[in-house]
Amino acid sequence: MRFDGIRDDPGNSDAAASFDPLRPLLTRVAYRMLGSVADAEDAVQDAFLRWLATDRREVREPAAFLRRTVTRLCLDQLKSARRTRETYVGPWLPEPLLEEEADEDDVTLPLMLALERLSPLERAAFLLHDVFGVSFDEVAATIGRDAAATRQLAARARAHVREARPRYRLEREKGLEIADAFFAASRSGDMQALGALLAADVGMWSDGGGKRPAADRPILGFDTVLKLHRSLAVLFGKYGSTLVRTGTINGLPGFITREADGEVQTTALEIEDGKIVAIYVVRNPDKLQHLH
């Protein structure tokens, strides 16, 4: 539910004026915590309602206060989200975020998947300190732990996600060039061209959420991924797959397509040494509503 209409109340204009400049940062924090655009927006809106109810004259640092509020709301949300994901149909992927909505903070899709393996407190400590540059004292106050325990949480998180951090930055144009080539080869059925793009240990993850056809487990290995795309190319040739646009999706080169059922989907490509090592496809319509 959205409550932006309450801004029309003149008595709330000051609260909105101090909150709105912070909204993009708060939304980034919430999205990195939750992996859901809609849930992040709801958490930020809930924080705004709490801001309205706060005696703002007693708040020295609105940014710190609101960041703390949003983080705590996200921690509460993560408790229920974990239970939901235990029964999720097939691989779970975060909602795709396009480049124009994202910021340069190196939180790519593989890193977000690595964050899913952390406890909520580890995730909060790592994101707030390592990604958003918040001091350990403030992080400790936010998550209700002392500074020493907070440092340990962040260190454990850092060790778990180290391999998921990008080892080098891929040039944007080069990444989009590979994405264009992948789309052309996969839709035309040119398996020789497609195979030339794939690493030997390539893997593919498809998130349909049980609402659209998708593999119920990761597809791993060059031969298996190529075999799948050979079958998919027959379907693409028969029913069509239209390129909407290429771009950066959760920090990775990729593209949006409209498929034969009329629904959109996103494909993001993790690339190392010029080869595609992972393919992430989001088909769950619940995760794509913000793209329409």
- Domain limits of the chain? 4-164, 172-291
Query: Cα dist. 181→177, 253, 276 in Å?
Result: 6, 12, 11
Residues with Cβ within 8 Å of residue 220, at least 6 apart in sequence: 201, 203, 204
pLDDT at 107: 84
Cα separation, 131 vs 103, in Å, equals 11
Q: Which of the four pLDDT bands, split at 50, 70 and 90, describes residue 97?
A: very high
Residue 168 has pLDDT above 60, yes or no: yes
Sheet with 198-207: strands ordered across: 219-220, 198-207, 275-282, 264-272, 252-259, 241-249
Cα separation, 88 vs 82, in Å, equals 10
Closest CA to 157 of 133, 137, 195, 128: 128
**Side-chain half-sphere of 78: how many Cα atoms within 13 Å?**
22
Architecture of domain 172-291: Roll (3.10)
Query: Residues 169-208: pLDDT tens digits?
Result: 788 999 999 999 999 999 999 999 999 999 999 999 999 9
Q: Which of the four pLDDT bands, split at 50, 70 and 90, describes residue 162?
A: confident
Q: Which of the four pLDDT bands, split at 50, 70 and 90, describes residue 239?
A: very high
pTM exceeds 0.85 for this model: yes
pLDDT at 15: 84
Query: Residues 52-89: pLDDT tens digits?
Result: 988 888 888 999 999 999 999 999 998 776 666 778 89
Q: Average pLDDT for residues 104-123, to the nearest whole number? A: 88
Task: Break the chain down into helix, strand, coil percent, rounded to 5.
Answer: 60, 15, 25
CATH of domain 4-164: 1.20.140.160
The 3-state DSSP class for residue 224 equals helix
Q: How many CB atoms lie within 10 A of CB 28?
A: 22
Asked, colleague to colleague, whether 4-164 and 172-291 share their fold, the answer is no
Residue-wise DSSP of 55-109 = -GGG-S-HHHHHHHHHHHHHHHHHHHHHHHHHT-SS---PPP-BGGG--SS---H
pLDDT at 10: 52
Average of per-residue pLDDT values in the chain = 90
Query: Cα dist. 110→85, 251, 278 in Å?
Result: 17, 9, 9
Q: Which of the four pLDDT bands, split at 50, 70 and 90, describes residue 1?
A: very low
Q: Average pLDDT for residues 263-272, to the nearest whole number? A: 96
pLDDT at 291: 86
